[in-house]
């Protein structure tokens, strides 16, 4: 069965002082790991070693989310050394960025390969997540990037956020079909349109089933993270995933 994660932005109270109690509850609910969000830490460089200790004590696998574009305005890879060091301090097994201003044929893929290799040497898998922007959340931009990575054997894979496609006007099922072979990690949520724009809601509400249909299209071995407001007992959502997805993998 795939590893189950929960993202730290799913909780309202994310003060680092509450982490030990929260991590213990996450583990008890049946999660295998936690996605630590860089934007929720006031000083990541100083706090991540302590967070690692808390996760180790709880027996949880750390993933690391960096809300940073991998390619800058000049279409070249940014300096990722600080983020690599932070991921090492956390003991992260996976790090995720957004794509940013990658341009096929102009971006330096050799520089990207060297950067990815440095992460690999530290036991960290680099992933790109489809974000909510035209630069980082469109299949027409992501697919050529991953094709270029494959052609050069660059070890970068895909974090698929099944809700973010709504923000960029993409057909989520078509996007899943186009990029499924790159997926190693999935963010699960329901996204609905409201009078004030799109909003993320928990799975299992209002009889919505889109998240299930999308999961069936994606690799069963990919890790799955809950990324929505946890408004009920976390264990309830874990059980819903297990009952509706893992038990019915052949559906």
> What does each of the 251 residues of the chain score in pLDDT, given as a tens digit?
689 999 999 998 777 888 999 999 999 999 999 999 999 999 999 999 999 999 999 999 999 999 999 999 999 999 999 999 999 999 999 999 999 999 999 999 999 999 999 999 999 999 999 999 999 999 999 999 999 999 999 999 999 999 999 999 999 999 999 999 999 999 999 999 999 999 999 998 666 788 999 999 999 999 999 999 998 899 999 998 887 666 555 44
The DSSP code sequence of the chain is ---EEEEGGGSS---GGGHHHHHHHHHHHT--EEEEEGGG-SSHHHHHHHHHHHHHHHT-EEEEEEEEEEE-TTSSB---HHHHHHHHHHT-SEEEEEEES--TTTS-HHHHHHHHHHHHHTT-EEEEE--SSTTTS-HHHHHHHHHHHHHTT--EEEEEETTGGGGGT--HHHHHHHHGGGEEEEEE-EEEEETTEEEEE-TTSTT--HHHHHHHHS-TTSEEEE-S---S-HHHHHHHHIIIIITTTT-
């Amino acid at each position: 069965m795939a590893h189950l994660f929960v993202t730290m932005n799913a909780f309202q109270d994310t003060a680092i002082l509450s982490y030990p109690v929260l991590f213990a509850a996450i583990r008890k609910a049946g999660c295998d790991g936690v996605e630590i969000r860089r934007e929720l830490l006031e000083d990541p460089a100083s706090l991540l070693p302590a967070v690692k200790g808390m996760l180790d004590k709880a027996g949880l696998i750390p993933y690391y989310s960096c809300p940073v574009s991998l390619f800058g305005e000049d279409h070249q890879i940014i300096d990722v050394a600080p983020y690599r060091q932070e991921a090492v301090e956390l003991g992260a097994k996976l790090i995720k960025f957004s794509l940013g201003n990658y341009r096929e044929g102009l971006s330096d893929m050799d520089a990207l390969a060297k950067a990815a290799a440095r992460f690999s040497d530290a036991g960290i898998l680099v992933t790109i997540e489809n974000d909510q922007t035209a630069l980082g959340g469109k299949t027409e931009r992501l697919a050529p990037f991953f094709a270029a990575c494959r052609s050069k054997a660059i070890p970068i894979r895909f974090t698929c956020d099944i809700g973010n496609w709504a923000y960029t006007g993409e057909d989520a099922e078509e996007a899943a079909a186009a990029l499924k072979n790159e997926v190693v990690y999935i963010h699960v949520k329901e996204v609905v349109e409201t009078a004030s724009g799109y909003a993320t809601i928990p799975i299992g509400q209002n009889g919505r089933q889109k998240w299930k249909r999308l999961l069936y299209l994606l690799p069963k071995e990919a890790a799955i993270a809950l990324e929505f407001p946890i408004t009920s007992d976390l264990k309830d959502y874990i059980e819903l995933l297990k009952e509706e997805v893992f038990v019915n993998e052949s559906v």
